[in-house]
Amino acid sequence: MRIAVRTDAGEGPVLVDDVSLNLRRGEVIGLIGESGAGKSTIGLASMGYTRRDCHIVGGSIVFGGKDIRAISAEDRRALRGPRIAYIAQSAAASFNPAHTLMEQVCEASVRHGVLSRAEARAEAISLFAQLDLPNPETIGSRYPHQVSGGQLQRVMAAMAMVAKPDILIFDEPTTALDVTTQVECLAAFRKLIREHGTAALYITHDLAVVAQIADRIMVLKRGKMVEFGEARQILQDPKEEYTRRLVRERVAGHKFVDANVAGTAPILAIDQVSANYPGKPKVIDDVSLEVRRGDTVAVVGESGSGKSTLARVVTGLLPRSAGDVRFNGVSLPPRLKDRTRDQLRRVQMIYQMPDVALNPQQTLLDVIGRPVAFYFKRSRAEVRDRVIELLRQMDLPESFISRKTSELSGGQKQRVSIARALAAEPDLIICDEVTSALDQLVGEEILRLLKKLQDELGVAYLFITHDLGTVKRIANKVAVMLKGRVVA
């Protein structure tokens, strides 16, 4: 297979070059590599789909004895869902907030005539239970914003599996899950694949994930296959240096020196805070913690434990119902709209899902430059210079300044999100799973960058994560949350 960008002048950059694989029934092939390696592009192309301006310019994609490239567009659309299902990386960007989960899980199989509505509903409830979702009989009546990110990702997996497709394409589906839930989900995926004889492509940057689910592994770099073989051989005896680097990064890790913040006053004090969504029970209850200048406080816990809700309370996106949040000794108004411009500038947030956080139609100049102009009243030329500086800090080319965020890989989008937060020159950055969408190598680079910025600027981090490896690398203090409370 060969995929390239096509411009008015003809064929442009090649994104995927001479990649070949055969997928057998009941088999899982893992695709791993750095952000931008072509993993998601290959996954989408397996359905006969490419992003705007991308074209499959060579090779074939044979499914059921027919080349998907040669059949009509209508026939290709008929395959997507019932025969070849796709589970996206960002569930939050894939669900319609105006419809219940059950409506959306059942929609494709009912519309394609694969199942009746009653059959689809029964199958969905069964899958909810197999994927260890709470209250499987009733969770389908909720809306997407009423479940945690990890729960929503599992609902999306159920949506893909309802019609019992022949091929499943998993695009980082466990990225948002805590380690415990991730293991449970992977076991459930594996069980369903084996029971139904489904074939699967599993796209990931996490070697620990691919080790649990893949039969064979293909390693990709810059659109080319580096190595392809049995999972055990790739993980235990890789032949290529690039693969060995991926394995080393996963095993070794890097522990940073503890921050020297003893005796300094807290810049953020969360004091007996509780919060709930309208008409719902408390999501966080009596939470207290402090963050000092130069601190990195990690908040860890399972999906649904209240980590991201705590971040929303601190930023004012969700008003607290009790307690106080003080910044530099001053109580912050509960609601975002009541805070001053300076209060807004000093507390920034990097979101878990860049697909949701970034406007796909805006250029990087617009996205990163907006806080520079808003908070510092810089001229257009000064804004451009500052954006270029931030792109360099993020290891992104200066030429990206005119690109739209929709043209970037998942890892590149998250680096843009980090640059946007840094553009405000904040005192505190709330990092909500900021490395969860990145491969090991890029994730390590981002953590090193965050530490370097902390050393230079004295910025503090409230670091929300489910990955204990990330905690080890960057945090000097840890708060453990369970069912809305800090328990350690």
Beta bridge partners of 485: 482
Q: Is 175 found in the same domain as 100?
A: yes
Element (H, E) at 129: helix 117-130
pLDDT at 166: 87
Q: Is 283 found in the same domain as 168?
A: no
- Distances from the Cα of 372 to the Cα of 56, 325, 382, 384, angstroms: 39, 26, 9, 9
Quick check: is 240 in a domain? yes
The tens place of each residue's pLDDT in the chain, 488 residues long, gives: 556 555 555 556 777 777 888 888 889 999 988 777 888 888 888 888 877 777 777 788 888 788 888 888 888 888 887 788 888 877 777 899 999 999 999 998 898 888 999 999 999 999 898 877 889 999 999 999 888 777 888 898 889 888 888 899 998 887 666 666 677 777 778 877 887 788 999 998 777 788 888 899 999 888 888 899 998 888 888 888 888 887 776 554 444 444 444 456 899 999 999 999 888 889 999 999 999 988 999 998 877 788 889 999 999 999 999 999 999 999 999 999 999 999 999 999 998 778 888 999 999 999 999 999 999 999 999 999 999 999 998 889 999 999 999 888 777 888 899 999 999 999 999 998 888 766 677 777 778 888 887 887 788 999 998 777 788 788 888 888 888 999 87
Q: Is 288 found in the same domain as 219?
A: no
Q: Is 390 found in the same domain as 478?
A: yes
pLDDT at 11: 58
Q: Is 242 found in the same domain as 272?
A: no
pLDDT at 132: 77
Q: Is 190 found in the same domain as 317?
A: no
Quick check: is 256 in a domain? no
Q: Is 148 found in the same domain as 92?
A: yes
In whole angstroms, what is the distance from residue 170 CA to residue 40 CA? Answer: 9
Q: Is 182 found in the same domain as 308?
A: no
Q: Among 250, 274, 304, give the residue marking a domain's end.
A: 250
Show the domain range for 187: 2-250
Quick check: is 261 in a domain? no
Q: Is 274 found in the same domain as 245?
A: no
Q: Is 224 found in the same domain as 122?
A: yes
Q: What is the pTM of this model?
A: 0.61
CA 453 and chain centroid, separation: 23
Domain count, the chain: 2
Quick check: is 408 in a domain? yes
Q: Is 431 found in the same domain as 366?
A: yes
Q: Among 250, 279, 298, give the residue marking a domain's end.
A: 250
For 417, phi and psi rounded to 5 degrees? -60, -40
- Radius of gyration from C-alpha coordinates of the chain: 23
pLDDT at 256: 41
Quick check: is 255 in a domain? no
Q: Is 176 found in the same domain as 287?
A: no
Quick check: is 403 in a domain? yes
pLDDT at 250: 59
The CATH number assigned to the domain holding 391 equals 3.40.50.300
Q: Among 250, 284, 317, give the residue marking a domain's end.
A: 250
Quick check: is 220 in a domain? yes
Quick check: is 258 in a domain? no
In whole angstroms, what is the distance from residue 25 CA to residue 183 CA? Answer: 23
